Amino acid sequence: MKQAEFLNTVLPFKDKLFRMAKRLLVSTEEAEDATQEILIKLWSKKNKMESYNNVEAFAMTMTKNFCLDRLKSKQAGNLKLVHTNYTDTNTSLQGQLEAKDSINWVEKIMAELPEQQKMVLQLRDVEQYEYDEIEKLLGMKPTAIRVALSRARKTVREKLMEKHNYGIA
What is the number of structural domains in the chain?
2
- The answer to whether residues 82 and 118 touch, using CB atoms and an 8 Å cutoff, is no
Q: What is the CATH number of the domain that holds 56?
A: 1.10.1740.10
The better pLDDT of the pair 166, 83 is held by 166
Return the closest-CA partner of residue 123 out of 60, 50, 54, 51.
60
54 and 107 housed in the same domain: no
Q: Does the structure show a pLDDT above 50 at 76?
A: no
Q: What is the per-residue pLDDT for 159?
A: 86
54 and 113 housed in the same domain: no
pTM over 0.75: no
Full residue range of the structural domain in which residue 160 is found:
93-166
Tell me which of 76, 109, 136 is where a domain ends: 76
What angle (nearest 5°) sits at the alpha carbon of residue 32, between those of residues 27 and 37?
125
Non-local CB neighbours of 163 within 8 Å, separated by 6+ positions? 105, 169
Is 85 inside any structural domain? Answer: no
- The answer to whether residues 64 and 119 touch, using CB atoms and an 8 Å cutoff, is yes
Return the closest-CA partner of residue 55 out of 42, 67, 65.
42
Is 81 inside any structural domain? Answer: no
114 and 160 housed in the same domain: yes
Is 62 inside any structural domain? Answer: yes
Q: What is the per-residue pLDDT for 146?
A: 92
Q: What is the CATH number of the domain that holds 140?
A: 1.10.10.10
Q: Does the structure show a pLDDT above 90 at 147?
A: yes
Q: Which tens digits make up the pLDDT trace of 78-122?
A: 444 454 555 545 557 777 777 777 778 888 888 889 989 988 988
**Burial state string for 72-111 with b = 16 or more CB within 10 A and e = fewer than 16:** eeeebeebebbbeeeeeeeeeeeeeeeeeeebebbbbbbe
User: Mean pLDDT across the stretch 53-62?
Assistant: 84
Is 82 inside any structural domain? Answer: no
Pick the range with the lowest mean pLDDT from 32-41, 63-72, 76-85, 115-124.
Answer: 76-85
Q: Does the structure show a pLDDT above 90 at 5?
A: no
